[in-house]
Amino acid sequence: MSTQHDLIVIGAGPGGYVAAIRAAQLGLNVACIEKESALGGTCLRVGCIPSKALLESSELFEQTSGHFAERGIKLKGVELDLPQMLEQKDSTVTSLTQGVAGLFKKNKITRYEGHAQLQGGGKVVVKKGRDETIELAGTHILIATGSVPATIPNVKIDGDRVVSSTEALTFEKVPETLAVIGAGAIGLEMGTVWRRLGSKVTVLEYLDRILPGMDGELAKQALKVFKSQGLNFQLGVKVTGVKPGKKDCEISIEGQSSIKAERVLVAVGRKPNTQNLGLDTANIETDARGFIPVNDHYQTTAKGVYAIGDVIGGAMLAHKAEEEGIACVERIATGYGHVNYNAIPAIVYTSPEVASVGKTEEQLQEAGVKYKKGSFPFAANGRARAIGHTGGMVKILADEKTDRILGAHILGPHAGDLIAELAVAIEFHASAEDVARASHAHPTLAEAIKEAALAVDKRTIHI
């Protein structure tokens, strides 16, 4: 006999657990299956949250190791206590994953621990250990199994010398040298953490630029800043293999001599996580790259089975998965649900942060859209000067005729928080003039957004 639920969610990452909570709020009887004992998925356990804890700690370490003197604060004998730094990261993760368990209880969501396998016809089995099996039946089933690190030919992630982002969060000792393959968000964030803690870090990137997909002008500026901070870059290089040796790993690069590094971080993207999920049995198709195709309502090729988040492709971002999860279950429960993909921000949590929402200049040019551009440097913002973070700028792109904001990009202090205003502006179809006319408190970093909006109409006040 199988236990019946209105909705079975497979995977308790930000996509799955948020969808489960929203569905429960809407009155559905919801179950969530998760194979890990801790809820929260990659993001909470081994992704966004632990990496942000290490980014914060490593930045404090770097600042106290030198940068405080210029503010008249003299510190002596600053030392790195790496085990304690890792412990603080782990306890942050534990408190948050326990928080999700608390939310499940509060919302009366039934949690099953184990590996879910689709059986077709609305049935799912949960396997735990060797012999424990539970049979469930769901009127609706939502796949939210996320993604796993990808690699490239001849590069085997062994979790020790050649690692993915997961193990790069747990090095017990600061590697003397670290090679990072890929200059995307993971490569730059984790490369920055270990550089600040003392590693000599070299980022190897196939393209001739960093941060593919983000605004080119800002990526160029960011590259300059990261280089000045001590990150080494080799752009336009194709890594063709990694051989871990006794002391160092040997990294082969097409058309040039190989380089050596104590450890190698492979950050070349992620792939959909659908292993042993029973997709064939349930008649669920995947595309050539293994992603699950869905229609506008997140329905897969099997009736009653939906999919959201990294496993369906698109931007691999926790908040994108959350929006999709909510839209999907709202559609199931109320008949309406929608995601505005143009208003989903993307942030890289380096220092300075890089944040982006809507279209880049490259995308607008490619689509032949005529636009106006307004930018404002943080160097001309009073608060940025006071806090000593003057690098970077805000850039707003607006439709040439209607003035509607089409894209916004920020490189600078707290860019990740600042971009929220512009995501709301895009969501509300605001014009650059709308943002420019809104009062922004003084002295704040957000004034740089107002000034960039004024710059669209060529009337900045402070430059």
Amino acid code (one letter) for 164: S
Of the candidate residues 20, 30, 162, 181, the single one contacting ligand NAD (CB under 6 A): 181
- The nearer residue to ligand NAD, 181 or 279, going by C-beta atoms, is 181
Scanning the structure block, which residue is given the tokens 């194709």?
238
Q: Does 41 bind ligand NAD (CB under 6 A)?
A: no
Q: Closest separation between CB of residue 277 and ligand NAD, Å?
A: 20
Tell me: cis bond preceding 377? Omega within 30 of 0 counts: no
| Residue type present at position 326 | I
User: What φ, ψ does residue 412 adopt, rounded to 5°?
Assistant: 160, -175
Furthest C-alpha separation in the chain: 72
442 as an active site residue: the answer is: yes
Q: Does 410 bind ligand NAD (CB under 6 A)?
A: no
Q: Which is nearer to ligand NAD, 104 or 226 (CB)?
A: 226
**Span from 54-62, 169-177, 335-343, 346-354 in contact with ligand NAD (CB under 6 A):** 346-354
CB 214, min distance to ligand NAD, A: 9
Burial class (CB in 10 A: 0-12, 13-18, 19+), 105: exposed
Residue 293 binds to ligand NAD (criterion: CB under 6 A)? no
DSSP structural state of residue 145: -
348: number of CA atoms within 13 Å, CB side?
31
Interface with ligand NAD includes 269 (CB under 6 A)? Answer: yes
Closer CB to ligand NAD, residue 41 or residue 374?
41
Cα 171-177-182 angle, rounded to 5 deg: 85
Binding positions for ligand NAD, 194-223, rule CB under 6 A: 204-207, 212
One residue of 187, 325, 345, 391 binding ligand NAD per CB under 6 A: 187
Q: How many residues sit close enough to ligand NAD to count as binding (CB under 6 A)? A: 26
Of 171, 148, 177, 147, the closest CA to residue 159 belongs to 171
Whole-number Cα distances in Å, 140 to 1, 23, 124, 298, 323: 18, 11, 11, 12, 18
Q: Is residue 239 close enough to count as binding ligand NAD by CB under 6 A?
A: yes
DSSP string covering 103-143, please? HHHHTTPEEEESEEEEEETTEEEEEETTTEEEEEEEEEEEE
Of 7, 39, 144, 267, the one binding ligand NAD (CB under 6 A) is 267
Per-residue contact string for residues 348-387; x = within reach of ligand NAD by CB under 6 A: xx--------------------------------------
Q: What is each CA distance from 50 to 17, 90, 160, 167, in whole angstroms?
A: 18, 7, 18, 11
What would the two tokens of residue 147 be? Answer: 């993604």
Q: In this complex, which beta carbon is closest to ligand NAD, that of residue 269 or of residue 443?
A: 269
Residue nearest to ligand NAD (CB): 184
Minimal distance in Å, beta carbon 351 to ligand NAD? 13
Closer CB to ligand NAD, residue 7 or residue 415?
Answer: 415
45 sits near ligand NAD (criterion: CB under 6 A): no
CB of 239 to ligand NAD, least distance (A): 4
292 binds ligand NAD per the rule CB under 6 A = no
- Catalytic, out of 67, 429, 442, 462: 442
- Distance (Å, whole) CA 226 – CA 281: 48
Binding residue (CB under 6 A) for ligand NAD from 169, 268, 355, 397: 268
Which distant-in-sequence residues (6+ apart) come within 8 Å of 337 by Cβ? 297, 326, 327, 328, 329, 330, 331
List interacting residues with ligand NAD (CB under 6 A). 152, 181-187, 189, 204-207, 212, 238-239, 267-270, 316-317, 346-349
Catalytic sites, residue numbers: 442
